[in-house]
Structure 1
């Protein structure tokens, strides 16, 4: 139960025999840390409003639904349920302990995202701790500029060991001044919070970015939502039975395209895993979308448009040489940037640490990554 209201026991999607139990992803963090923005980034749409009325804020549960998307259900401690007409800053929750929101988001099918409201005084109750401890995946949200405060450490220290199913998400990354701030903060958080979290992710989820992410893969990658969605999908795969029953294809082709992209990502990750010194890499398609990979793949989403702009600026050189620039190597401080343009509409690149890179191996790996390009969405 949470705030006196049990989380609903959700049945498998209608008509899907053999469906696996839903993966419960709990999104938690201190008051106004950006939890709703993180969920919106994962969803690729601004579903949850930014609420400042802490006293009346319920817990939120968001899940995909092929039918009934858009419904907002208010669950009360008495066992009653009513449907709200709208979900925004003006919604009257009527004392409900849980607000269940159905959305059309096939990429999170089989997942339920639960946002826990935290009091501004920092006092966390037993029910909230139990929900965090029992999560299949915990996303702990912390504001990037002041990440991992002592009060946060005190809360996480009350939970049982759950590092392998916990990620710290650094919100409001768009407020950081430069890339070096990202590096400095990430290094500190990894050092200080490493015992509690298996990964660090950045999110820059301004409302306009989330709106753009609905139809723009690059915007989704830039927001950080794509990386989190990938982490959720990977966690669900790890928890799957060894011989799961495959659900029937949905009445759209989006899942088929998603599986193709996932398979391509797996191939690329296997190649990238052989590279010592890899920071991040990316493979872009004709639409400008970027399939990012590597230990710090959030940086690839930022690099991709900058690299594209740099390559596009080589027009005069190409005209003088009578040939296109196909491969480029740049030294950027302690890093090397390798770029291949396998086709006029795409790019493949690797960012590596100079002191740990075998150039011949890196070039071979990049050519393998670039060879097949991105599958069509």
Structure 2
């Protein structure tokens, strides 16, 4: 029900905005689920859910406000889905680090990103990686979130022979999650068309198709990660649902600034967060998983050297319960297939370097 409420409130907000009831597009109530889902995911590491709830709201408010003031973009920020899963299930659960150590790593990565954002190196690094692997990484994280959601709801359980199996679907958590899996999808995908191509329709690009003040936007993104780590949450990042505010008319940082205020007001819901069971947010988590998995549709399915590494990346993340393993196997597969096919010009030096580093990592354990 909570997941359904989150999506309904999102849909109604977007619907009313699109009918000029808020012509400036400053109301951006499009990610209420994060304040409930993020504490539940990070709580698996031993972190206190109430504290994570507060940190989530403060980090989102800080990042959105910096984006508004520094870059003047209608883009809001919040702790990223996928990034929090990597934090909880890979760094802490799989690699054995404490959540305190993981937060320290997030802080260090944030500081590094700040330094990279002050130069053009971060943009160049991002541009050096194959588009197919970027799409596959997003899709793989989506599949990873999907299996987490199914496990939280009791729909999928561990099995000694087949590794996983269907749970008892007659139990209340599974039934409630499935009812919320169904209603949320209807509401969510009803507005999905609005989110496609919003950046272009919003006129956020210059005459050459580039985004002005990109460095400031990257700086806002990275500084939000640093701040979020200091107060107790995983990486804070720009999120795709900001497109709803842009589609509604938001063109300046005022949209992000109002979102920051709304996240601060959400702090008053802190007592409610502790009352929400994990299966209540399974529907929201599944909808995010499906949205992220859509990247597979954009692959070049006529080129095996493109789609094969992407599938390896996407499918190994949930099956190995490790995002890092999926990314590593994807890079190794991409470089190997391209070189074996004689298409060495498609493989950049950064891709080869990353593939070799992952080979070394897997070899050394």
TM-score by length of 1: 0.26
Rg comparison, structure with higher value: 1
TM-score by length of 2: 0.27
